[in-house]
Amino acid sequence: MSDAPTWYDLLDVARDASTQEVRAAWKTQIADLEPGDRRFDALNRAARVLLDPAARTAYDAEHPETQDLPLPEAPRPVALAEPAPVPAPAAPFVHPDPDAERRAGGSWTVPGWLLAGLAVVAAGLVAATTWMWASGGDGGHDSTAREAQVAAESAVVPVLSYDYEHLEADQRASQALMTGRYRTEYDKLFTVLEENAPRTRTRVTASVVASGIVRASEDRVQVLVFVDRPTTNKLSADPVVYKDQVTLSMQLVDGEWLVDDLITSPVQG
C-alpha cells in the first residue's frame, strides 16, 4: 500500500476531522503563503474537497487509506487556481517576454509548453468533432462549441484578474460570468484574496495566449486556455509574468455560456 500523502495529511487533520477543524487547519496553513505559491494552490484544492460533504464522501470511498499523490513541490512562483482559486503570485521568478525578441526584429520559437498543450487541445478537438459527427449534427454543435470557447476566453480574463484597490468591483464583474454553483466556490476563495491582496498590494492582469476545445456536448463544453498573468505587488513594482493552463467547464444557462468550474495549473518549462 502506498505511503503517499492524502488531502488529510496535507492539511494535517484526522480523517474524522470536523468541517470546522478542516477550515481552521486550511486557514492556518495558508496564512503565511502567497496565493501564487504552488503549496497554496494544493492546500486550496484539499480544502475544496474536504469542505464539500459530497466530494469528501466520494474521496473517502476512493481513498480509504492513502492516495498516490505526490507532496506539493517546494514553493514555485495561480496560481487561483483554483479551486481554482484565483491566484495572487508574488514570487521573484520572471518568465522571459516571448515578444521581446520579435519586437527587436529576431525570430521567436514556439515554446515547448505551448506545443505540448496544443497537442492536448488537438486530441480534444478530435474527440469533440467525433461527438458532433456521432450526434448527427449539421455543424450547429460546432458553432455552439465555438461560442463556448469565445465565452471562456472572455471570462478567464476578469476571473483571474484583480486589483487590490477595487476588489469588490472585480468580484462583481467575475460573478456575472459564473453559474450559481461555481460562484459559491469562487466567493470562498475570494475571501482569501480580500484578506491578503491589500496587505501585499497585489495586482494581476490576465491575458489569453491560446485556447482550444477539449470536449463538448450540447450544453457543456470544456475549454483549455493558456494564460499569462503579469503581476505586481509591494515587493515587485515591475510585472512578474506567470504562465498557466486553465481548464474551464462552460455551462449553457438560459442561452448564455457561464463558467461552471475552473482549474489552473502552472505551465512547466
pLDDT of residue 224: 93
Residue 216 CB burial class (10 angstroms; 0-12, 13-18, ≥19):
buried
pLDDT of residue 161: 93
What's the CATH fold of domain 100-266? Nuclear Transport Factor 2; Chain: A, (3.10.450)
pLDDT of residue 141: 63
CATH for the stretch 7-62:
1.10.287.110
Evaluate if pTM is beyond 0.85.
no
Question: Residue 217 in contact with residue 245, Cβ under 8 Å?
Answer: no
Mean pLDDT split into 10-residue runs, the chain, 269 residues = 76 94 92 79 90 92 62 44 41 37 40 49 44 41 86 94 92 93 90 88 91 90 93 88 92 94 79
pLDDT of residue 169: 93
End-to-end CA distance of the chain: 32
pLDDT of residue 123: 46
pLDDT of residue 269: 54
Domain spans of the chain, in order of start: 7-62, 100-266
What residues pair up with 126 in beta bridges, in sequence order?
none
Helix (H) or strand (E) holding 11: helix 7-11
pLDDT of residue 250: 96
